[in-house]
Structure 1
């Protein structure tokens, strides 16, 4: 937060020199403090609207771009014409635009790489769980067979119920899904259960049938479910009761429809108005930067989808539709 404020203050000082140079060219006697007050107001607006991820560029590139902007200030003495002043001003703005654009792009790529590494871990965990369950399956059958041979029907029924409950978690995640998708579904299911959150996968068809590359699909599902779990954790802390998450997926009239619902604490109107519309807005607290919503938004847009969301009675619903075109 302090780093963001320092950046906008520094940028306002640079802007002051550029604007005052224009005023001096036209010989307008406007006090510098009035100009600076206006610039501070503009910077405050940008501070509220634009997420900063400058540290992803590193000190070297950030320092280099700042040196270029300082160099532009010295060129004003050698720019007697208005068009030269205009070029210097546009160069200043262009450099700053490049800084913000590149840093946001790098931040998104870094998050995507981090998620990919997590996906590999989830996939390996799911594979090991399935392998372990398969390894023990015949042992369970032998135990049940022994109980039935000895007329211990009640014990066999209880044993079978416990066994089915244990397999249910894995079966919900891997049924009909490709490995990477099964991995993220299984991991999110386990994470929700660890937080005592009720989570239901209501899938008419496998999510893997979506015409989206595995990496993008896993990022989409991971961010949707992760956001839901985070919101439910906060909701449970305040309400002291179990929160619910449901993930629905079905195909209707040439469209794949994905719906994610979860309990959520009240969301400020200014956040709701810009959620999934502008980068950097998130319902999370603790200075989250909204990269997850950006990845969701980009994935939907890249695959000609449509995203809508509703918040009502402390329930947040995201509905995404994709055309069934391969």
Structure 2
């Protein structure tokens, strides 16, 4: 975070120098504090709307690009008064565009690789659980059969109840779902259960029916549930009570509706105003970058969908509508 902030400050400073020298070479004597205002405005706009992983291209290339941008200032002293004075400024802007575009692409590739590895782990984990349950199934049947033969009906019922509860956890996640979707649903369910959160998957039809790619689906569901679980954990810690997380999915009038509800501590109004609209805003504490909510909104809008959220009576609700068009 500190490195990113330093980058934006340096960008504003170097940009101000370039614009100041450019205007002076054109005999426009504008005070530097006035020159800095539009530069700071543009940098602030980029800062608010750009997900920049400045470290993704490495310290070496960042220093090389910064050095080149600073050396361009010397050209203003060698170029005579003409339209040629725009060349160094144009090169400066081009170098910055290369940096931003390169950082974004490398960051996207890195994030995609990490998501793929996580998806693979989730699928493997879910497969091993299902395989284990299948392996033990006949043993459970034999145990129940033995109890019934020996007149231990109550013990058999308790045994079946415990068995059904265990199978229901897996069944909620995998029924009708593609592998990656089942994996993330099952992982989030188990993570919430370990935290003592009551989880309800109320799915009229499989989430896999959403006209969304697997990678976007994992990001969408993963970020929604991860944020909800974190909020529930904080709420439970504060109130010493069990929090509830509900994920609903159904189809109405040509629209897929995905609703996620969870208990949440009060959220500051400035955070609510910017949530899902720009990067860097989070309801969590320090150490969180606030990337997930904006990524969710980008995925929804990328599929011509609509996202709305409401915070009322310490319950946070996100409602997503996506047209049933493939």
TM-score, normalisation: structure 1: 0.90
Question: What SS is found at the alignment partner of 1:201?
Answer: strand
For 1:289, the equivalent position in structure 2 comes to 289
Question: What SS is found at the alignment partner of 1:246?
Answer: strand
Tell whether the 8 Å contact from 1:256 to 1:324 is kept in structure 2 after alignment. yes
Instruction: List aligned pairs for 1:34-183, cutoff 5 A.
Output: 34=33, 38=37, 42=41, 45=44, 49=48, 51-81=51-81, 83-183=83-183
CA distance in 2, matches of 1:68, 1:234: 47
The 1:40–1:25 alpha-carbon spacing in structure 2 relative to 1, beyond 3 Å, is closer
Tell whether the 8 Å contact from 2:232 to 2:243 is kept in structure 1 after alignment. yes
Stretch moving more, 111-120 or 198-207: 111-120
Q: CA RMSD in A?
A: 2.5
Unaligned runs of at least 5 residues, structure 2:
none
CA distance in 2, matches of 1:249, 1:19: 53
Matched, 1:21 2:21: yes
1:237, distance to aligned residue in structure 2 (A): 1.9
What whole-Å deviation, never above 9, does each CA across 1:271-321 have from its counterpart, x for those lacking one? 222222223433332242233223322321222222111222222111111
1:36, distance to aligned residue in structure 2 (A): 8.2
Tell whether the 8 Å contact from 1:12 to 1:39 is kept in structure 2 after alignment. no
Question: What SS is found at the alignment partner of 1:285?
Answer: coil
What whole-Å deviation, never above 9, does each CA across 1:214-242 have from its counterpart, x for those lacking one? 22212211111111111212222222222
TM-score, normalisation: structure 2: 0.90
Give the number of equivalent residue pairs: 325
Question: What SS is found at the alignment partner of 2:137?
Answer: helix
1:251, distance to aligned residue in structure 2 (A): 0.6
For 2:249, the equivalent position in structure 1 comes to 249
The 1:213–1:40 alpha-carbon spacing in structure 2 relative to 1, beyond 3 Å, is closer
Which 4+ stretches in 1 moved above 6 angstroms?
none
CA distance in 2, matches of 1:131, 1:271: 44
CA distance in 1, matches of 2:272, 2:109: 25
CA distance in 2, matches of 1:123, 1:159: 29
Tell whether the 8 Å contact from 2:279 to 2:290 is kept in structure 1 after alignment. yes
Tell whether the 8 Å contact from 1:12 to 1:36 is kept in structure 2 after alignment. no
Matched, 1:206 2:239: no
The 1:238–1:43 alpha-carbon spacing in structure 2 relative to 1, beyond 3 Å, is farther
Unaligned runs of at least 5 residues, structure 1:
none
1:263, distance to aligned residue in structure 2 (A): 1.6
Question: What SS is found at the alignment partner of 1:172?
Answer: helix
